[in-house]
Structure 1
Amino acid sequence: MLGFLTARQAGLDDPLRLRRAESTRRVLSLTLNPDRDVDRIHGNGINTIDIEVIEGRYMLSGGADGVIVIYDLENYSGNLQYTCKAVCTVGRSNRHVHKFSVETVQWYPYDTGMFVSSSFDKTMKVWDTETLKPAEVFEFEGNIYSHHLSPIARKHSLIAGHRAEVLSVRWSPRYEHILATASADSKVKVWDVRRASGCLFTLDQHNGDKSKAASEAVNTAHNGRVNGLCFTADGLYLLTTGTDDRMRLWNSATGENTLLNYGKVSNDSRKKLQFTVSRGCSPEFVFVPCESSVAVYAIHTGELVTTLRGHYNNVDCCEFHPDYQELYSGGKDCNILAWIPVLRASDVEEESRSANQAAGDQSSVNPAFQDAWSSDED
């Protein structure tokens, strides 16, 4: 790390290279933090979490009990050990609470004064954060498995459909008019909401080679329910997960299956699976709930980098905090766990040796930089 700092100070390296290197190191050192707890509020499993991007301070969670909680992630106590407190809760006693399981919660991308929730009670609610009352309620004919607000668009509309339940929807972080949807009918569709026809293409795991697919499997992304979607941070690729225990990486512009093999990614969830990707790292990583753990893969090689274990039951959601390279995960054990970067012993020793050499070993210093000053008046 000192090498990166020295090169940056001397103008030999782009500052972005140092940032990427440190972000990558932090992700690779993620571990369950014994000094940080998150208030346990939910009485049933946690289906969804979201961290706002304005301050990176507040986190939403929604549970199978219909409860919504807002947490403050900042530590103002000055102590190493602290608990992320629930600052407000839409609990069972609130007359506006969802009647059934909350499947998705999301902050409004431009203002923490508003967030949106959707539920199996067939409603989607737009909430005023200050009053904890819904400013708008939309009612639907069926269960709402997922919703998503575009992180970049300010105005858009959407009309899309599938023959079966739409389990996950995601807007592109690159183009405000591009939307991807995943369905229980094994299909993933990419839509341009500006077009009358809407659908640009349907992802095909066989890339159009019908000789490799049974007639009923043509234009399917997975051999089972597709319950997870996530764009890479740059929007160039799309990751999907399905109940066939596979994760696939697609070119988001062409719909081509990259055929990258991640191995078996256990997934038996009949609902949406919320997974996430890192930001600012090189290489980039994807964090995927896998039974009672979170599997971390290198996105573009398929390598299983590590497995984060700490939950006592299945993990249903995880969210990456890009400001601090932290990860939060929620599951059926009613817990939200914080995975925090730590310095490994080898890193500490290396930095200590580098510091000692720089400060104490004068014989190794270039003579041009040695101190030639003397107090001898002669």
Structure 2
Amino acid sequence: MLGLMAARQAGLDDPARLRRAERTRRVLSLELNKDRDVERLHGSGINTLDIEPVEGRYMLSGGSDGVIVLYDLENLSRKPSYTCKALFSVGRSHPDVHKFSVETVQWYPHDTGIFTSSSFDKTLKIWDTNTLQPADIFHFEGTVYSHHMSPVATKHCLIAGHRQEVLAVSWSPRHEYILATGSADGRVKLWDVRRASGCLSTLDQYNGEKSKASSETANTAHNGRVNGLCYTNDGLHLLTIGTDDRMRLWNSSTGENTLVNYGKVCNESRKGLKFAISCGCNPEFAFVPYGSTIAVYTVFTGELVTMLRGHYSTVNCCVFQPHFQELYSGSKDCNILAWIPAPREPVPDDISEKSLPQQRVNPAYEDAWSSSDDEG
């Protein structure tokens, strides 16, 4: 690290390399923060979390009891030990509280004055953050398992929501009109919302080699329910997870299964599973709820890096905070846990980097940055 800093200071290295190396180090050292608590207001399991992308300071949570809570993650006390306070909540006594389990909460991507929520009560609500009143309520005939707003759309304000057996939806962070959906029939479809026919393609786990696929599994992404999907930050790849205990990485442009082997990814959830992908690291990492733990994988090689343990019951969701490389997770145990990078050991001023013992690093974690990474 000292070598990277010296090279950057001398103008011999691109600043992006130091940023990537430090972000990667921080993610690889994530641990349960025993000094940071998140105020507990939920009386039942937590299904969904979202951190607003504007400041990365405010977090929403939605629970099986229909309650929505907004937290301030900033340490205003400046003390080592502190509690992330709840600024407000839509509790059971609120006149507009969801009647049943809240499955998804999401901030409006460009303004913290609006957030959205959807529930098993067959409604999707648009909330005014300042007044804590719904600006609009959409009623559906079937259960709303998931919804999502595009993070890059400039020409539309569409919210993607599906009824009944579509368990996961995600807008592309690269193309504002492209939408991915995952269904209980094992299929993942890519849509262009400008087209009358809609569906662009159906992802095939066998990449079109039908001779190897039975008629029952042809043109399916998973041999089970697809209940989680997430784009990489650049939008070039899509990661999906199914109840067949498999996770797959797809080229979002060609629809090709990249055949990365993650091994068995335990997934017993009967509804949507919210997982997260890091941002700005090399390599990138996926944080996947795995029973009462969170499994951390390298996205492009499939290596299981570590298991984060701290919850007492099934983990339902996790969200990554890219500004400080922190992770927050919600569980059926009603707790939200904060996972932060372990502090770096200070180096005495009179010791040079060359004199320090050299630690062997897995080649998968070495920074493979090149000047072309941030071009185009």
Identify whether the pair has TM-score above 0.5, normalized to the shorter chain. Answer: yes
Mapped partners of 1:158, 1:134: distance in 2? 16
1:358 positional shift: 4.9
Cα 1:325–1:83 shift into 2, 3 Å: same
Percent sequence identity over matched residues? 70
In structure 1, what is the equivalent of residue 184 of structure 2? 184
In structure 1, what is the equivalent of residue 248 of structure 2? 248
Mapped partners of 1:155, 1:124: distance in 2? 22
The reply to whether residue 42 of structure 1 matches residue 31 of structure 2 is no
Residue type matched to 1:310 in 2? Answer: G
1:158 positional shift: 7.4
Mapped partners of 2:69, 2:162: distance in 1? 31
Structure 2 residue ranges without an equivalent (≥5): 356-376
Contact 1:127–1:133 (8 Å) recurs in 2: yes
Mapped partners of 1:135, 1:283: distance in 2? 41
For residue 144 of structure 2, give the secondary structure of its aligned residue in structure 1: coil
Contact 1:159–1:193 (8 Å) recurs in 2: no
1:357 positional shift: 3.3
Mapped partners of 1:259, 1:138: distance in 2? 39
Cα 1:90–1:281 shift into 2, 3 Å: same
Normalising by structure 1, we get a TM-score of 0.91
In structure 2, what is the equivalent of residue 24 of structure 1? 24
For residue 216 of structure 1, give the secondary structure of its aligned residue in structure 2: coil
Mapped partners of 1:223, 1:25: distance in 2? 36
Structure with the bigger percentage of helix: 1
Offset from partner CA, 1:54-106 (integer Å, 9 cap, x none): 11110000000000000000001021000000000000000100000000000
Residue type matched to 2:284 in 1? Answer: E
After TM superposition, what 4+ stretches of structure 1 lie above 4 angstroms from structure 2? 157-162
Mapped partners of 2:72, 2:161: distance in 1? 36
Offset from partner CA, 1:187-222 (integer Å, 9 cap, x none): 000001111111110000000111111101111000
The reply to whether residue 140 of structure 1 matches residue 140 of structure 2 is yes
**Correspondence list, 1:352-371, <5 A:** 352=348, 355-358=349-352
**Correspondence list, 1:32-111, <5 A:** 32-111=32-111
In structure 2, what is the equivalent of residue 293 of structure 1? 293
In structure 1, what is the equivalent of residue 369 of structure 2? none
Contact 1:146–1:169 (8 Å) recurs in 2: yes
In structure 2, what is the equivalent of residue 369 of structure 1? none
Contact 2:228–2:273 (8 Å) recurs in 1: yes
Give the aligned length.
353
Residue type matched to 2:258 in 1? Answer: T
Contact 2:147–2:162 (8 Å) recurs in 1: no
Mapped partners of 2:174, 2:270: distance in 1? 29
Q: Aligned Cα RMSD in Å?
A: 1.6
Offset from partner CA, 1:156-184 (integer Å, 9 cap, x none): 3478979x611000000011011000000
1:356 positional shift: 1.7
Cα 1:159–1:123 shift into 2, 3 Å: closer
For residue 148 of structure 2, give the secondary structure of its aligned residue in structure 1: coil
In structure 1, what is the equivalent of residue 126 of structure 2? 126
In structure 1, what is the equivalent of residue 212 of structure 2? 212
Mapped partners of 1:158, 1:82: distance in 2? 36
Contact 1:179–1:191 (8 Å) recurs in 2: yes
The reply to whether residue 173 of structure 1 matches residue 173 of structure 2 is yes
Cα 1:50–1:245 shift into 2, 3 Å: same
Question: Who wins on radius of gyration, i.e. which is larger?
Answer: 1
For residue 6 of structure 2, give the secondary structure of its aligned residue in structure 1: helix
Offset from partner CA, 1:10-67 (integer Å, 9 cap, x none): 0111000000000000000000000000001100100000000111110000000000
Residue type matched to 2:232 in 1? Answer: T
For residue 215 of structure 1, give the secondary structure of its aligned residue in structure 2: coil
For residue 196 of structure 1, give the secondary structure of its aligned residue in structure 2: coil
Residue type matched to 1:342 in 2? Answer: A
1:281 positional shift: 0.3
Residue type matched to 2:191 in 1? Answer: W
